């Protein structure tokens, strides 16, 4: 095993990350609950869009808030490092379950949170500055293997680089889309609002956004550039928080960026917090190293290798599909493609059968406005909805209902075009990882990655 | 833009409607006081005027109109005639529950002044010599009182209730602010209440060609439905273009906003505004060949009515997808990381 895997590093950065990440998630859950989104997104809808392969994930109806309570509680336990292993596994499972209930609520940062939880399940984030270590001094250690912290950094770097690579396309760089649509909508902001009336501003934002994503992990990793890079992180994510309705994501990234800072930096903060709790010097500086047994270590490194291989390959799966990715969205999710498209759609379904029944569907009878919006631009959701309609109408007097859709989708300022072949009976089509031939070709070209 | 829409479009349109509504109430009261053919004719004309004027305000589904669901109390059709007769017989009945919506407003009046007999004499008789004449007259009074009460709640919020300032100061484009609500309400009105309600459902275009001549607007008046449809459509066109209700001049509105954003077809370079207006013209052309009695038209000239639906459908897509997308209007409050 290369020497790198024997290197140790202070545990402070990982411990502080655990604390902040747990609190952040707890805050997110409280915010979500407080905004009434549990009812809005998980109790109110009559139908849901499960992910392909995860159809067994069912909505819990009125018990959804119990799931959120479990999730919030485990986030709090992770933060203070009490019953850490159980808490982080519960957090991963409950959070991921929530996110898998309905595709309409998919957000890249929820996926990010799930994956960080997954990583944390394998890392000794509770070895230092945790209630567990306080209660069980054999666990307490202020040195951990270096790869434990580096794997978090690597994951964050992968996110940024893929997000940056995804911006290397003609819509983003040459046409400043979709920022050209989004930014002018904020010309009423105080102080900077007037800027968005200038046509060149979206181009500047686009180019800087792309350079930022591609370079920030390296600038953060490098000691000399780190302070400037972190200022950039705060400004960049602060700006996106101001401009776009992306919820907690900017704050999560601002907190996550701290992981790149030096152990001494984290140690100072932890000492400060420790002082508030009158923690003993022995608790803050135990001078012990957390060590895995060789077998466990090999297993963990193997797991991480698999994890990172998947993380590197999964965002590239779109290359296997024909057609324009932004149009077909085959391989779009779970690939760190953030804020890349202004996509709006309209889908009107017609149901008919051999007996001559025919009806036009009012989508609001089945879906919430959010679900309808998401469904009308994403082919796999259109298909799921078509099947839902097929099953519904089969129970309401139609014999072997056929489902057709009149769809119309506008992408990044282009005028709308049909997304789905109107002559395909979607009742007979099945979802799979194979290309969907019933998606109409994109009548334009977006160059780049 | 919001100031122009409030001061030159919405508030004056409401004021115009109030004038017609007041006139109709006066004529209704006169008819109630002395039901005869002359007062019936006056009442009917005032009802036609007010119903037509209503078409120019139904599209403002924002603020108090949205909060109090103004439309539900004015124009849910076809009228539920059985329910109306039950309410008349009972001499009471709630006007606030959803089931009561088709028992009130213009469609209920349509039934009561146009649908109770084949001649005016026969109709007047229902208010004079019929055993339930007094109850029927009382119901007319209840209807106009209800309409005036709901409308004045909405209107006074705009004039003295401070909503105008709330409206023009809420400039963000999210679902909670004026532009978002206004545009979403406008598009919904065009799609569901003009395209579907006035044309799509009666013509059978949305229901397997099953023609429903009894589902046209103002069914009992026979010759008004097309006028109402045209008026409502023109109101949508004028609103899109930001046309002042007071002067007829175009001011800041959806059109100027889209133009300032430079919304256009990236392939042909044609502006979105021109494309939408061309589509509106096409709808107008298709409407212009229809005869006044839409109820007959859907039976005898169905293809022509269906063509209106088809062209309206294309306009719906442009408004709902191309326009809202170009304006970056969101529909919900929840987090979103850009599709």
Provide the token pair at B165.
Answer: 């300032």
Cα-based angle B2, B6, B12 (whole degrees, multiple of 5):
155
> Which of A105, A108, A410 lies nearest to residue B321, judging by beta carbons?
A410
Going A246 to A250 to A252 to A256, the CA torsion angle's sign is positive
**Integer angstrom CA distances of residue A176 from A172, A202, A416, B173:** 5, 6, 19, 20
Maximum Cα–Cα distance across chain B:
70
The C-alpha of A309 sits at a distance from chain B's nearest C-alpha, in angstroms, of: 25
Asked if B118 is an interface residue toward chain A (Cβ–Cβ < 8 A), one would say no
Position A16 scores a pLDDT of: 97
The residue of chain A with its CA nearest to that of B260 is A197
* Region of A10 on the Ramachandran plot (φ > 0 left; ψ -120 to 50 alpha; else beta): beta
Q: How far apart are CA A448 and CA A441, in angstroms?
A: 18
User: Across all residues in chain A, what is the average pLDDT?
Assistant: 94
**Integer angstrom CA distances of residue A293 from A298, A299, A301, A416:** 9, 10, 12, 59
Position B335 scores a pLDDT of: 58
Q: Please answer yes or no on whether B325 and A343 come within 8 Å at the CB atom.
A: yes
Going B113 to B116 to B120 to B121, the CA torsion angle's sign is negative
Asked if B327 is an interface residue toward chain A (Cβ–Cβ < 8 A), one would say yes
In 3D space, the residue among B186, B149, B176, B174 whose CA is nearest the CA of residue B10 turns out to be: B186
Average pLDDT over residues B201-222: 90
Position B339 scores a pLDDT of: 43
pTM: 0.90
Q: Please answer yes or no on whether B328 and A342 come within 8 Å at the CB atom.
A: yes
- Which residues face A349 on adjacent strands? A405
Give A75 or B262, the one with higher predicted confidence.
A75
Q: How far apart are CA B236 and CA A277, in angstroms?
A: 66
Position B269 scores a pLDDT of: 87
Taking the CB of residue A179, how many other CB atoms lie within 10 A of it?
A: 24
The C-alpha of A148 sits at a distance from chain B's nearest C-alpha, in angstroms, of: 29
Average pLDDT over residues A114-133: 96
Note the pLDDT tens digit of each residue in B94-141.
999 999 999 999 999 999 999 999 999 999 999 999 999 999 999 999
Position A242 scores a pLDDT of: 87
Cα-based angle A248, A249, A251 (whole degrees, multiple of 5):
70
Edge-to-edge strand ranges of the sheet holding A402-411: A358-360, A343-352, A402-411
Q: Which residues of B touch A178 (CB under 8 A)?
A: 338
Q: Please answer yes or no on whether A359 and B208 come within 8 Å at the CB atom.
A: yes
Position A303 scores a pLDDT of: 96
CA dihedral A184, A187, A193, A196 (to 10 degrees): 20
Q: Please answer yes or no on whether B336 and A246 come within 8 Å at the CB atom.
A: yes
Position B84 scores a pLDDT of: 96
Which band of pLDDT confidence, cut at 50, 70 and 90, is reported for residue B333? low
**Integer angstrom CA distances of residue B289 from B2, B14, B191, B277:** 36, 30, 21, 19
Show Cβ contacts of residue B216 under 8 Å, excluding neighbours closer than 6 positions.
B198, B202, B225, B294, B295, B298
Q: Which residues of B touch A41 (CB under 8 A)?
A: 334
The residue of chain A with its CA nearest to that of B180 is A185
Q: Please answer yes or no on whether A341 and B333 come within 8 Å at the CB atom.
A: no
On whether the CB atoms of residues A429 and A448 are closer than 8 A, the answer is no
Asked if B336 is an interface residue toward chain A (Cβ–Cβ < 8 A), one would say yes
CA dihedral A102, A106, A111, A113 (to 10 degrees): -90
Q: Quote ipTM for the complex.
A: 0.82
Average pLDDT over residues B144-163: 96
Concatenated DSSP letters for B166-209? HHHH----STTSHHHHHHHHHHHIIIIIIIIIIIIHHHTTTTTT
Which band of pLDDT confidence, cut at 50, 70 and 90, is reported for residue A102? very high
Show Cβ contacts of residue B134 under 8 Å, excluding neighbours closer than 6 positions.
none
Average pLDDT over residues A86-114: 96
On whether the CB atoms of residues B7 and B262 are closer than 8 A, the answer is no
Note the pLDDT tens digit of each residue in B259-287.
988 888 877 889 999 999 999 999 999 99
Provide the token pair at B204.
Answer: 């059978």
Q: Please answer yes or no on whether B261 and A416 come within 8 Å at the CB atom.
A: no
Q: How far apart are CA A93 and CA A50, in angstroms?
A: 16
Provide the token pair at A82.
Answer: 């009490």
Query: Does B163 have pLDDT greater than 70?
Result: yes
The residue of chain B with its CA nearest to that of A198 is B261
Give the lowest-confidence range in A371-380, B117-126, B200-209, B287-296: B200-209
Which band of pLDDT confidence, cut at 50, 70 and 90, is reported for residue B328? confident
In 3D space, the residue among B331, B336, B25 whose CA is nearest the CA of residue B180 turns out to be: B331
Query: Does B175 have pLDDT greater than 80?
Result: no
Q: What does the H/E/C string look like for chain A?
A: CCHHHHCEEECHHHHHHHHHHHHHHHHHHHHHHHCCHHHHHHHCCCCCCCCCCCCCCCCCHHHHHHHHHHHHHHHHHHHHCCCHHHHHHHHHHHHHHHHHHCHHHCCHHHHHHHHHHHHHHHCCCCCCCCHHHHHCCCCCCCEEEHHHHHHHHHHHHHHHHHHHHHCCEHHHHCCCCCHHHHHHHHCCCCCCHHHHHCCHHHHHHHHHHHHHHHHHHHHHHCCCCHHHHHHHHHHHHHHHHHHCCCCCHHHHHHHHHHHHCCHHHHHHHHHHHHHHCCCCHHHHCCCCECCCCHHHHHHHHHHHHHHHHHHHHHHHHHHHCCCCHHHHCCCCCCCCCCCCCCEEEEEEEEEECCCCCEEECCHHHCCCHHHHHHHCCCHHHHHHHHHHHHHHHHCCCCCCCEEEEEEEEEECCCCCECCECCCCCHHHCCCCCCCCCCECCCCCCCCEC
The C-alpha of A68 sits at a distance from chain B's nearest C-alpha, in angstroms, of: 17
> Which of A41, A341, A416 lies nearest to residue B317, judging by beta carbons?
A416
> Which of A37, A188, A345 lies nearest to residue B172, judging by beta carbons?
A188
Note the pLDDT tens digit of each residue in A251-294.
999 999 999 999 999 999 999 999 999 999 999 999 999 999 99
Q: Which residues of B touch A40 (CB under 8 A)?
A: 334
Going B284 to B286 to B291 to B296, the CA torsion angle's sign is negative
Q: Which residues of B touch A35 (CB under 8 A)?
A: 333-334
User: Across all residues in chain B, what is the average pLDDT?
Assistant: 93
């Amino acid at each position: 095993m290369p020497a790198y895997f024997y290197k140790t590093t202070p545990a402070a950065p990982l411990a502080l990350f655990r604390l902040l990440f747990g609190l952040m998630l707890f805050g997110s859950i409280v915010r979500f609950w407080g905004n009434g989104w549990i009812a809005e997104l998980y109790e109110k809808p009559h139908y849901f869009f499960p992910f392909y392969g995860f159809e067994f994930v069912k909505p819990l109806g009125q018990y959804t808030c119990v799931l959120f309570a479990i999730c919030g509680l485990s986030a709090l336990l992770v933060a203070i490092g009490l019953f850490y292993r159980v808490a982080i596994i519960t957090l991963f499972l409950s959070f991921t379950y929530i996110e898998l209930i309905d595709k309409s609520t998919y957000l890249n940062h929820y996926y990010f949170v799930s994956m960080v939880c997954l990583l944390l399940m394998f890392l000794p984030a509770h070895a230092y500055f945790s209630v567990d270590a306080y209660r069980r001094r054999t666990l307490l250690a202020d040195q951990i293997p270096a790869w434990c912290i580096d794997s978090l950094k690597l994951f964050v770097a992968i996110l940024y680089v893929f997000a940056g690579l995804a911006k290397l396309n003609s819509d983003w760089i040459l046409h400043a889309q979709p920022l050209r649509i989004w930014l002018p909508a904020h010309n009423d902001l105080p102080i900077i609002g007037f800027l968005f009336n200038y046509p060149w501003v979206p181009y500047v934002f686009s180019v800087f956004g792309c350079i930022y994503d591609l370079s920030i992990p390296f600038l953060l990793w490098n000691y000399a550039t780190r302070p400037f890079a972190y200022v950039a992180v705060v400004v960049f994510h602060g700006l996106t928080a101001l401009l776009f309705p992306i919820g907690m994501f900017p704050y999560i990234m601002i907190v996550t960026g701290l992981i790149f800072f030096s152990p001494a930096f984290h140690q100072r903060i932890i000492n400060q917090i420790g002082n508030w709790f009158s923690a003993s010097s022995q608790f803050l500086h135990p001078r012990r190293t957390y060590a895995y047994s060789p077998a466990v270590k090999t297993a963990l490194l193997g797991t991480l290798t698999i994890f990172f291989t998947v993380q590197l390959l999964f965002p590239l799966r779109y290359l296997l599909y024909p057609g324009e990715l932004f149009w077909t969205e085959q391989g779009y999710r779970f690939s760190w493609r953030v804020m890349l498209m202004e996509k709006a759609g309209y889908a009107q379904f017609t149901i008919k059968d051999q007996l001559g029944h025919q009806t036009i569907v009012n989508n609001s009878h089945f879906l919430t406005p959010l679900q309808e919006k998401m469904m009308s631009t994403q082919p796999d959701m259109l298909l799921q909805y078509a099947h839902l309609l097929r099953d519904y109408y089969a129970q309401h007097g139609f014999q072997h209902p056929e489902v057709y859709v009149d769809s119309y989708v506008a992408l990044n300022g282009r005028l709308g075009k049909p997304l789905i072949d109107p002559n395909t009976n979607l009742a007979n089509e099945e979802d799979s990882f194979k290309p969907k031939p019933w998606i109409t070709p994109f009548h334009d070209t977006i160059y780049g990655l | 833009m919001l100031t122009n829409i409030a001061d030159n479009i919405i508030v004056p349109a409401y004021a115009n409607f109030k004038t017609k509504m007041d006139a109709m109430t006066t004529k209704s009261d006169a008819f109630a006081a002395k039901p005869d053919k002359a007062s019936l004719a006056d009442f009917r004309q005032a009802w036609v005027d007010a119903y037509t004027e209503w078409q120019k305000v139904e599209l403002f589904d924002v603020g108090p109109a949205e909060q109090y669901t103004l439309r539900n109390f004015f124009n849910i059709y076809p009228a539920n005639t059985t329910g109306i007769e039950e309410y008349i017989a009972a001499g009471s009945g709630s006007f606030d529950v959803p089931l009561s919506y088709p028992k009130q407003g213009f469609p209920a009046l349509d039934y009561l002044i146009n649908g109770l007999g084949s001649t005016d004499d026969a109709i007047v008789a229902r208010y004079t010599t019929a055993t339930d004449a007094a109850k029927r007259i009382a119901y007319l009074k209840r209807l106009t009182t209800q309409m005036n009460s709901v409308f004045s709640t909405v209107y006074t919020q705009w004039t003295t209730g401070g909503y105008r300032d709330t409206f023009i100061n809420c400039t963000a484009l999210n679902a909670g602010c004026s532009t978002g609500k206004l545009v979403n309400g406008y598009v919904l009105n065009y799609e569901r209440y003009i395209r579907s309600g006035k044309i799509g459902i009666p013509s059978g275009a949305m229901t397997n060609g099953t023609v429903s001549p009894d589902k046209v607007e103002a069914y009992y008046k026979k010759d008004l439905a097309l006028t109402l449809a045209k008026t409502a459509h023109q109101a949508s066109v004028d609103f899109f273009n930001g046309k002042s209700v007071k002067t007829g001049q175009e001011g800041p509105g959806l059109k100027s906003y889209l133009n300032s954003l430079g919304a256009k077809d990236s392939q042909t370079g044609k502006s979105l505004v021109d494309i939408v207006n061309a589509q509106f013209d096409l709808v107008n052309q298709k409407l212009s060949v229809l005869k006044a009695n839409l109820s007959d038209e859907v039976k005898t000239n169905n293809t022509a009515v269906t063509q209106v639906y088809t062209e309206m459908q294309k306009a719906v897509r442009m408004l709902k997808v191309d326009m809202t997308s170009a304006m970056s209007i969101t529909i919900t409050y929840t987090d979103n990381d850009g599709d």
